[in-house]
Amino acid sequence: MTDDSSTKVALITGGKGGLGSAIVPAFGSAGYRVVDCDAAHPDVARQFDVTDSAAVESAVSHILTDFGRIDVLVNLVGAWRPQDPISEITDEDWDGIFKINFRSVLVMSRAVLPHMIERGSGCIINVGAKQGERGAGGNGPYSVAKAGVLALTEVMAEETLDSGITVNAVVPSVIDTPGNRAGMPDADFDVWVPPAQIAATMVFLASNEAASISGDRIHVFNKS
């Protein structure tokens, strides 16, 4: 932490994940003070559960006290795992996938938005998925959760019109992360999207050049 209150601050959830490992340094290189958080990793700036409203409110309050501002919120926390058909899925499995993929975005955005509205500026970037645009069999809770993220993005963008805030969703195809490689070892990795390309897209969305872009879905797909 520095005392330079004029430098913009980017709060990035899931900072130690496969995508976060590219997003965090990209925003650092762009001149932001980066606050990365990840409940599963102690070696981050902040460690808290992004699905727990009380924990998030407390963490955001402390970040604002320490840094004075939050200019960018990047909601990276999410997870995919094999899912049973709707006819067989349990409440526990449904709730778990929905919580990490949708509730995390809702709770974090709700905590940060009042500060951005008061400042009259800010940027929220969410992560959607192809399954959120068209439901996929065997991906019931994940598809519904990501569809919710896309709808929430559009709702927040409309509710913050003319307030100096932008809210967008990056919608990638398969991302080339160690986790995805381990889960799909026989796939053609060459057609997957490198995390650095998504990082560059997010840094652009947070820039002044993208100030007129809000409520959009930015597709970052491979060419296959």
Q: Which residues are catalytic?
A: 142
CB 41 within 8 A of CB 92: no
- Tell me how far apart the alpha carbons of residues 10 and 216 are, in angstroms, rounded to a whole number: 20
Within 13 Å of residue 107, how many CA atoms lie on the same side as its CB?
23
Check if the beta carbon of residue 8 is closer than 8 Å to that of residue 33: yes
Reduced to 3 states, what is the DSSP secondary structure of residue 37?
A: strand
* Nearest alpha carbon to residue 85 among 137, 136, 130, 134: 137
Closest CA to 222 of 174, 181, 185, 186: 174
* Separation between Cα atoms, residue 94 and residue 87, nearest integer Å: 12
Residue 186's SS3 state is coil
DSSP SS3 for 173:
coil
Residues 176, 189: contact at Cβ < 8 Å? Answer: yes
